[in-house]
Chains A and B, each alone.
Chain A
């Protein structure tokens, strides 16, 4: 069911941290080139993540007894907005802070919460997500990595792929089959917290078209997983992963992947005699509306609801904007061959244009999201 998204506001208490976060993010990114900033939530800096934790800006939805802030969704919204607007290197803590921590808090045992959450909140435990496999992309329920029950735990064999930050993470939360066959689909899937130092794990980096190596293949060969690394009940992995994806799809990051480029373009246009006001205005109008939509989704989350379909709708609109932006900026920068834009701005635009197809792949492809919306409309 698709619900309305009424105009909503960020609570004043959460707005209050904005100025401090903005000043911090701008100072931390002062020496970076536009192309470096444009990597934004792919930029990895353990040092930056530690500083975030020192300021109390990680683990915002985690309870205080586990080292969190208990500050809620809007506090994270404000902090994330400012980090991404500045192009800060948030990748190290990103996945743990956004989804692994909330997942463990919601479905993990008391002992698991005490084991994993303080490290996440301290910016010291980094996580990656083990969902996709070579033959399981959009059809996630077809995963074939399999954990067999053995004495005291499970023995895992299989492979994950497109795993962001695998070589630099401490843990992976993986969706694997624990019973039945691939044909059983949603049944028989479970989630484990895998210590990536365990024997039998090998990681191979995959270089992307922009020359970066942020994602990887991860191979499991007779990897022993102790019983207490299973999250939730055996067989409940599909329901948990669905909840996890709702966290992944609902944040402001789904409209801000290329915001650094918009900033660079405006900075350059402001010094040019022939600006492009209609092009700028169109992008700004989209940004303004998308931001209100993400605020409205966050308000629903903050009210304890689970706006999965609405989040999918906003994500698809958001990634469409994120992809149109580099396309428009590239064209605008090349509008007059006699006018040479700054080389670093051109490099940032080219970089974002090259990687932007991934924006509508990661976290659920455009076609999968539109299928969810169609279901919300009652069509399937």
Chain B
């Protein structure tokens, strides 16, 4: 199934987000050229209603773009930005990538947000400050990388509380979890293609390692987990306001990632551990994504509590959830 949005995302990321670009941005380079290309393609405004000058799409339609963004290891919070811009009353006044803070804001001296995913490359950040969700400009913040080598997460610190724009009350951490699940599923899809191709090329014992049953069985498991992850992400995006569906997406995608990343590395052998080989751009995203906005156990427990609070049969619960989904439109 091909679709214009997907083709356009593939083209933009192929032209502007190669492995060298990702590495340069992760090393502290300027991301504005990439962001410009993404904005000009219209992705950032795709969820803004048509009446306000946007494209008026549903998150379900944007799944293909986020999957491609994940596959290209796009080093920017594209999904977060799309979702936040959709609710801004004056999106034209908010330029640049928008991050969503995962943890609680500290307001003792000025304002501190710890370990914000994509905090190093964001111009804006969504955070819950004193109980209220708001959008904050990063311009005056001190940005300190907060995680491992290559990570884009950062601590953001303001000496004084910056001017904040109020946002509609919704659980923006769940939004972060949902779009992270989608880019992770895209990363896994690309890892599968990369790993299958490698297994076909790499000769050991006189034949491609992909001819060995032991490798074939591992790649089959990898494919299964990739299909489950992609379906979980699609389901979540088709029900963006359902916390249950987000819980399904983030917990199931995380569980898949816990298998897919290690299999990709196991099949590649030592080359996959190197800086120069592109595998690590994706497997690092999976590890970071699993922990961002709540891991598998957190979201599974959220879903479990929700199920236990009803008297529904298990199948009826998932049937009812599924009945409300909005299928992606063929564009």
Interface residues of A (CB under 8 A from B): 2, 4-9, 15, 81, 85, 256, 259, 262-263, 266, 269-270, 275-293, 295-296, 313-314, 316-317, 367, 369-371, 373-374, 376-380
Which residue of A269, A270, A275, A373 has the most chain B CB atoms within 10 A of its CB atom? Answer: A373
B247 with A281: CB separation less than 8 A = yes
Which residue of A2, A282, A289 has the most chain B CB atoms within 10 A of its CB atom? Answer: A289
CA distance A38 to B196 in the complex (A): 39
B307 with A285: CB separation less than 8 A = no
Task: Say which residue of A7, A85, A376 sits within 8 Å of B325 (CB atoms).
Answer: A7
Given A377-B223, A379-B216, A281-B251 contact (CB < 8 Å)? yes
Is B220 an interface position by the 8 A CB rule? yes
Contacts of B234 in A (CB 8 A): 6-7, 292
Contacts of A85 in B (CB 8 A): 313, 315-316
CA distance A9 to B252 in the complex (A): 20
A266 with B327: CB separation less than 8 A = no
A280 with B223: CB separation less than 8 A = no
Is B224 an interface position by the 8 A CB rule? yes
A373 with B327: CB separation less than 8 A = no
Is B168 an interface position by the 8 A CB rule? no
A7 with B227: CB separation less than 8 A = no
List residues of B (290-313) whose CB comes within 8 Å of A's CBs: 296-297, 299-308, 311, 313
B232 with A279: CB separation less than 8 A = no
Is B217 an interface position by the 8 A CB rule? yes
A377 with B196: CB separation less than 8 A = yes
Given A281-B301, A374-B219, A380-B211 contact (CB < 8 Å)? yes
Q: Considering the complex of A and B, which 7 residue pairs feature the smallest CB-CB distances, nearest first?
A: A277-B304, A281-B304, A281-B300, A281-B303, A280-B304, A374-B216, A370-B220
Task: Say which residue of A263, A289, A316 sits within 8 Å of B231 (CB atoms).
Answer: A289
Task: Say which residue of A5, A276, A292, A316 sits within 8 Å of B304 (CB atoms).
Answer: A276
CA distance A371 to B60 in the complex (A): 33
Contacts of A316 in B (CB 8 A): 220, 224
Contacts of B228 in A (CB 8 A): 289-290, 293, 317
A288 with B248: CB separation less than 8 A = yes
Give A152 Cβ to nearest chain B Cβ, in Å: 46
Give B313 Cβ to nearest chain A Cβ, in Å: 5
Task: Say which residue of B219, B248, B314, B327 sits within 8 Å of A263 (CB atoms).
Answer: B314
Given A4-B1, A371-B216, A379-B211, A284-B231 contact (CB < 8 Å)? no
CA distance A277 to B299 in the complex (A): 10
Closest to B256 in A: A289
Q: How does the 8 Å CB contact mask read for B251-263 relative to A, with 1 for contact and 0 for none?
A: 1100100000000
Contacts of B230 in A (CB 8 A): 5
Closest to A379 in B: B210
Give B241 Cβ to nearest chain A Cβ, in Å: 16
A259 with B314: CB separation less than 8 A = yes
Would you give 29 A-B contacts (Cβ < 8 Å), ordered by A?
A4-B1, A6-B328, A7-B234, A7-B235, A81-B319, A85-B315, A85-B316, A259-B314, A266-B313, A277-B303, A277-B305, A278-B301, A280-B300, A281-B304, A282-B300, A285-B303, A288-B235, A289-B235, A292-B322, A313-B227, A369-B220, A370-B217, A371-B216, A371-B217, A373-B219, A373-B224, A374-B210, A374-B216, A374-B220
How large, as a class, is the contact surface on chain B?
A: 35 or more
Which residue of A263, A281, A286, A376 has the most chain B CB atoms within 10 A of its CB atom? Answer: A281
Which residue of A276, A286, A292, A369 has the most chain B CB atoms within 10 A of its CB atom? Answer: A292
Is B147 an interface position by the 8 A CB rule? no
A284 with B318: CB separation less than 8 A = yes
Closest to A313 in B: B224
Given A7-B327, A7-B328, A270-B308, A379-B200 contact (CB < 8 Å)? yes
Contacts of B317 in A (CB 8 A): 284
Interface majority SS on A: helix, strand, loop or mixed? Answer: helix
Is B286 an interface position by the 8 A CB rule? no
CA distance A377 to B199 in the complex (A): 11
List residues of B (208-228) whose CB comes within 8 Å of A's CBs: 210-211, 213, 215-217, 219-221, 223-224, 227-228
Closest to B317 in A: A284
Task: Say which residue of B245, B308, B314, B325 sits within 8 Å of A275 (CB atoms).
Answer: B308
Which residue of A256, A276, A317, A369 has the most chain B CB atoms within 10 A of its CB atom? Answer: A317
CA distance A370 to B212 in the complex (A): 13
Is B321 an interface position by the 8 A CB rule? yes
Contacts of A8 in B (CB 8 A): 327
Give A26 Cβ to nearest chain B Cβ, in Å: 9
A284 with B1: CB separation less than 8 A = no
Task: Say which residue of A6, A279, A293, A370 sits within 8 Å of B221 (CB atoms).
Answer: A370
Is B180 an interface position by the 8 A CB rule? no
Is B80 an interface position by the 8 A CB rule? no
B252 with A373: CB separation less than 8 A = no
CA distance A289 to B315 in the complex (A): 12
A7 with B224: CB separation less than 8 A = no
CA distance A263 to B307 in the complex (A): 11
Closest to A276 in B: B304
CA distance A299 to B248 in the complex (A): 22
Contacts of A7 in B (CB 8 A): 60, 231, 234-235, 238, 325, 327-328
Contacts of A369 in B (CB 8 A): 220
Contacts of A9 in B (CB 8 A): 325, 327
Give A282 Cβ to nearest chain B Cβ, in Å: 4
CA distance A269 to B248 in the complex (A): 20
B314 with A379: CB separation less than 8 A = no
Given A275-B304, A277-B305, A289-B228, A266-B314 contact (CB < 8 Å)? yes
CA distance A8 to B330 in the complex (A): 12
Contacts of B318 in A (CB 8 A): 284, 287-288, 291
Given A7-B235, A266-B314, A293-B231, A284-B307 contact (CB < 8 Å)? yes
Give A217 Cβ to nearest chain B Cβ, in Å: 31
Contacts of A275 in B (CB 8 A): 304-305, 308
Give A35 Cβ to nearest chain B Cβ, in Å: 18
CA distance A379 to B210 in the complex (A): 6
Contacts of B327 in A (CB 8 A): 7-9
Contacts of A262 in B (CB 8 A): 314
CA distance A287 to B304 in the complex (A): 12
CA distance A373 to B217 in the complex (A): 9
Contacts of A291 in B (CB 8 A): 315, 318-319, 322
